[in-house]
Amino acid sequence: MRPDWRDPRLLLLLAATLLLASSFLAPQISVARVGYDALLVVDITGSMNTRDYAANGRPQSRLDAVKAALREMIAGLPCASRIALGVFSERRPFLLYEPIEVCADYAQLGGSIDALDWRMAWEGDSHVAAGLYRAIDMAKELRADVLFFTDGQEAPPLPASGGPVFDGRPGETKGLIIGVGGYRLSPIPKFNDEGREIGFYGVDDVPHENRHGLPPAGAEQREGYNARNAPFGATMTAGVEHMSSVREPYLRTLADRTGLVYTHLDGAAELARAFRSAATPRMREAALDMRPVFGASAGALLLAAFVATPLLEQRARRREIIRAANKPPERRVA
């Protein structure tokens, strides 16, 4: 038995056999897969009930728009990603659960996102900046990126002296502030104690100015101003706090201050794109089954041995025959 090593079929057969054998030696390899860890914090205060989105030709509340976008975005995340969900009301985020994996527990994630409701809010106030800062702390502790969904409407309005101060390191925790809501003012639905909708907030239902702390500059010009008895003026200022639109400039300053990225909620695709560019990809070890690859390459080599080589040989032989036929040397083939 003297093997002819110049025969390509022998080499192909040998390579296929070796590949098939190695599928038993190393059926799996460990590969690094990209995943994302994210803490989602959703504002569930009253202004999120404002219906200034549309879905299927019908008005959609901001909260519903957030839920729809989140479900779709999460479905598109790689399996090695983990998500924790929290709600925001008053001045802090409240964590519903610690991070869970997006593929294994997708149904549970989706179910809990669907269940988000303004009725979960334990207080009506909405101190957005304070809530955001604490959400960033929470994300840092969970070693996750933060996604903070809010319309940016501080209720009650911030005092003239400004909001709370961010004492973390800007940019240490990455993530997005997602501005939710339309750019035009819309009425905010009002609900009674039993949770039934009873109209919209009127101009007299909400404070339009925060009268804690020092009065703003120029308050002296106001009607009925008295330095001791009426430092904010004698009449209540009336504004548009009973209406709501996304407070984009304010959210942008918050983003600048905290090192997060601001984006406006315009559907799931846009949200997913913004998230991927702002989030930290985290490498996770995952086992990759190599056996299909071995099978495919062995199959290809075997096919080559059975089909390609004989065909090539046949062509070579045909050429030989033609050459033999054209023996008279006036038409030489190069």
Partner 1 sequence: MSGFGVETLWVLAFLPFAVAPLLRSALRASRFSAIDAAPRDGVSRAVAVGLKALGAGAIAASILAAAAPYRAGAEHERIGEGADIVFLIDRSGSMNETFAGRTPAGSEESKASAAKRLLQGFVDRRAHDRVGVVGFSTAPLLLMPMSDHRTAIKAAIDAVDRPGLDYTNIGRGLAMALAMIGSGERDRSRAIVLVSDGAGVIDPRIQDDLRAEMKKANVALYWLFLRTAGSAGIFDEPDPEFDTPQAAPERHLDLFFRSLRVSYRAFEAEGPAATEQAVAQIDRLERRPVRYVEKRPRDELSGLVLGIALGCAVALLLAKLAEVRPPTREQGA
* Neighbouring-strand partners of residue 283: 34
Q: How far is the CB of 286 from partner 1 (least distance, A)?
A: 16
User: For the chain, what's the residue count?
Assistant: 334
Compute the distance between CA of residue 220 and CA of residue 218 in angstroms, rounded to an integer.
5
Residue 15 CA to chain centroid, in angstroms? Answer: 45
* Dihedral sign computed on CA atoms, order 68, 69, 72, 78: negative
Specify the stretch interacting with partner 1 by CB under 8 A; choose among 10-18, 50-58, 156-164, 264-272.
Answer: 10-18
223 phi and psi angles, rounded to 5 deg: -65, 135
Q: How far is the CB of 129 from partner 1 (least distance, A)?
A: 19
* Neighbouring-strand partners of residue 94: 87
For partner 1, which is the closer residue by CB, 123 or 256?
123
Instruction: Give the H or E element holding residue 29.
Output: strand 28-35
Instruction: Please pick, from the candidates 3, 57, 162, 171, the single residue that binds partner 1 as defined by CB under 8 A.
Output: 3
Spell out where 51-158 has E strands.
Answer: 53-55, 58-60, 82-89, 92-101, 145-150
Told to check if 307 binds partner 1 by CB under 8 A, we report: yes
Environment class of 271 (CB within 10 Å of its CB; exposed 0-12, middle 13-18, buried 19+): buried
Q: How far is the CB of 132 from partner 1 (least distance, A)?
A: 17
Told to check if 286 binds partner 1 by CB under 8 A, we report: no
Told to check if 287 binds partner 1 by CB under 8 A, we report: no
Compute the distance between CA of residue 198 and CA of residue 195 in angstroms, rounded to an integer.
9
Told to check if 306 binds partner 1 by CB under 8 A, we report: yes
Instruction: Please pick, from the candidates 21, 32, 198, 288, the single residue that binds partner 1 as defined by CB under 8 A.
Output: 21
Q: How far is the CB of 200 from partner 1 (least distance, A)?
A: 22
Specify the stretch interacting with partner 1 by CB under 8 A; choose among 45-53, 108-116, 179-187, 209-217.
Answer: 108-116
Cβ proximity of 150 and 43 under 8 Å = yes
DSSP code at position 305 = I
Instruction: Please pick, from the candidates 172, 197, 205, 289, the single residue that binds partner 1 as defined by CB under 8 A.
Output: 289
Amino acid letter, residue 121: A
Told to check if 213 binds partner 1 by CB under 8 A, we report: no
Told to check if 217 binds partner 1 by CB under 8 A, we report: no
Told to check if 292 binds partner 1 by CB under 8 A, we report: yes
Q: Which of residues 32-91 bind partner 1 (CB under 8 A)?
A: 84, 87
* The two three-digit tokens of residue 210, written as one number: 């925060």
Point out which residues bind partner 1 (CB under 8 A).
Answer: 1-4, 7, 9-10, 12-14, 16-17, 20-21, 23-24, 27, 84, 87, 92, 94-101, 104-105, 107-109, 111-112, 115, 117, 119-123, 289, 291-296, 298-299, 302-303, 305-307, 309-311, 313, 320, 323
